[in-house]
Amino acid sequence: MATVTPELHKNLINGKWVEAKNGQTMQSVNPATGDVLGIVPKSGREDVATAVEAAKQAHAKWRKFPAPRRAEILYRAAEMLVQHKEDLARLMTQEMGKVLAETRGDVQEAIDMTYFIAGEGRRLHGYTTPSEMPNKAAYCIRVPLGVVGVITPWNFPMAIPSWKIIPALVCGNTVVFKPATHTPLVALRFAHILHEAGLPPGVLNVVTGDGKDVGDALVEHPDVAIISFTGSTETGLAIAEKCARAGKRVALEMGGKNAAIVMDDADLDLATNALIWSAFGTSGQRCTACSRIITQRDVKSDLTERLVERAKALRLGNGLDPNTDVGPVVSDAQLHRIHDYVQIGQREGARVLTGGARASDGALSRGWFYSPTIFDQVNPAMRIAREEIFGPVTDVIATKDLNEAVAILNSVEYGLSASIFTRDINRAMHAIDDIFTGIVYVNHGTIGAEVHLPFGGTKNTGNGHREGGLQVLDIFSEWKAVYIDYSGRLQRAQIDKD
């Protein structure tokens, strides 16, 4: 077979495609096959500095460009994303492994987000309100922050960047985007489309490279007004510390240890379908993946049998193959991390019902595949029940009633997504009241967020911000209160009351 030399890609800085100043490069590798898909710049601090400077210069004009006109560019980008949906999805499957149905969903989410937020170009509502004085107007408006630093993970290579970049742009900010080390090609294609749609030079810049070099430089740059980060809790908290010292804004989306409660009156067929999808979709590498199934004792063995049968039947393989249910995990390091957790679980006394090992039969040996794994006899205090594994591993935990189930669900340090399966409306409503997470589903798994609702979590999942919904605008804008006194005399608020 002829070997194809992988294409060399470049950073997007100030509307131009440029190499890293240090001339270094890194590879993007297909986790299903080990093939090199492309070469991208392994940039350094100096590239970040140039990109931030370009973004800073561009901001002066972009913030004055009317928001409806910014939105026109975004609508055009959305249309181009629709046209390129299939090739973007195929590239994404090759670059990070998840199956085509899911990568099409990832691109669709970016399309949905872009159309939804482009609509804000003609809204971006502030409000007017009466002043306490006569002959005085009062209102408030949103204003952009300046240069936004976007740092993203590899599990949703287009959806997550779109949640950040599109709202940042519509609000009038400019962006320097550092994509995940494992998914630079999708990021550069996404940027290419936004660039072709007509973004002026410097409004969106992309700098590929390592977290330590490029990410750190972006976080530490004094002209970056805010960092919007999605990734691990460890990295997110380290970024937050640096931002706090510099007085810089930061919006964090971090880990999850999501649980589904299955009550004894649940539709077990539905619960099984939803939980297999929630636990093993994207090979469990979602911040909303279901990694704890808290089930009432009466239905536990019935549910567990169904889950194990279904997990065993999942076909692992290359995500481009339409017969594949579960693709590889993203890297060798991730594979080892997952297996280490499985061994920790076994040492803690939990029992592996299915999976528990690397899958390496035939063609699978070329990539990083891990068998869908279900643990039984899990105690909520075990590490596998408390820590995020980010792989195809889920725990079954027995419970006596709803109160105990909710207490177990809430007992972890994270609070992203949760679900309950029950046919009893009272139980569902109590669960909604008492579960402390950012997202709650009833009779649905823990995954499946829609772009026009707030996305984010409580406790160590985040720092109080929400992406998605209109709430995302609060991350990327400041409020400006405006008072216009047309009385022609000094009127003192709170003092001149008569």
Minimal distance, residue 42 CB to ligand ADP, in Å:
12
Q: How many CA atoms lie within 13 A of 316 on its CB side?
A: 29
**Residue closer to ligand ADP (CB basis): 212 or 497:** 212
Residue 224: partners with Cβ closer than 8 Å, 6 or more residues away:
52, 146, 147, 148, 149, 176, 218, 248
**Cβ-contact 147, 223 below 8 angstroms:** yes
Residue 7 three-state SS: strand
Q: CA-to-CA distance for 186 and 84, rounded, in angstroms? A: 12
Minimal distance, residue 231 CB to ligand ADP, in Å:
3
Task: Write down the catalytic residue from 102, 253, 388, 467.
Answer: 253
**Residue closer to ligand ADP (CB basis): 210 or 404:** 210
Minimal distance, residue 416 CB to ligand ADP, in Å:
14
**Residue closer to ligand ADP (CB basis): 225 or 299:** 225
E strands in 106-239: 127-130, 136-144, 147-151, 174-178, 204-206, 224-230
Minimal distance, residue 156 CB to ligand ADP, in Å:
10
Site map (CB under 6 A) of ligand ADP, residues 240-279, x = contact: ----------------------------------------
Minimal distance, residue 211 CB to ligand ADP, in Å:
2
**Is residue 422 at the binding interface for ligand ADP, with CB under 6 A as the rule?**
no
**Residue closer to ligand ADP (CB basis): 216 or 348:** 216
Find the part of the chain contacting ligand ADP (CB under 6 A) among 178-186, 259-267, 321-329, 391-399.
178-186
Does the annotation mark 171 as catalytic?
Answer: no
Torsion of CA 427, 429, 433, 436, to 10 degrees: 70
Find the part of the chain contacting ligand ADP (CB under 6 A) among 106-114, 175-183, 262-270, 319-327.
175-183
**Residue closer to ligand ADP (CB basis): 212 or 245:** 212
Minimal distance, residue 188 CB to ligand ADP, in Å:
14
The count of other CB atoms within 10 Å of the CB of residue 215 is: 24
List the interface residues with ligand ADP, window 180-239 (CB under 6 A): 180-181, 211-212, 215-216, 219, 231-232, 235, 238-239
E strands in 231-372: 249-253, 258-262, 290-296, 351-354
**Cβ-contact 253, 456 below 8 angstroms:** yes
Task: Write down the catalytic residue from 287, 290, 388, 467.
Answer: 287
As a whole number of Å, the CA-based R_g of the chain is 24
**Residue closer to ligand ADP (CB basis): 265 or 340:** 340
Find the part of the chain contacting ligand ADP (CB under 6 A) among 35-43, 137-145, 176-184, 483-491.
176-184
Residue 325: partners with Cβ closer than 8 Å, 6 or more residues away:
99, 280, 314, 315, 316
Residue 40, exposed/middle/buried by CB under 10 A (0-12, 13-18, 19+)?
buried
Find the part of the chain contacting ligand ADP (CB under 6 A) among 75-83, 113-121, 177-185, 359-367.
177-185
Q: Tell me the number of residues near ligand ADP by CB under 6 A.
A: 17
Q: CA-to-CA distance for 434 and 22, rounded, in angstroms? A: 53
Site map (CB under 6 A) of ligand ADP, residues 137-156, x = contact: --------------xxxx--
E strands in 435-491: 439-442, 458-459, 477-485
Q: For residues 71-81, b (16+ Cβ closer than 10 Å) or e, as one string?
A: bebbebbbebb
Give the distance from CA 421 to its chain's centroid. 25
Q: Where along the sequence are the contacts to ligand ADP (CB under 6 A)?
A: 151-154, 178, 180-181, 211-212, 215-216, 219, 231-232, 235, 238-239
Residues catalogued as catalytic? 253, 287
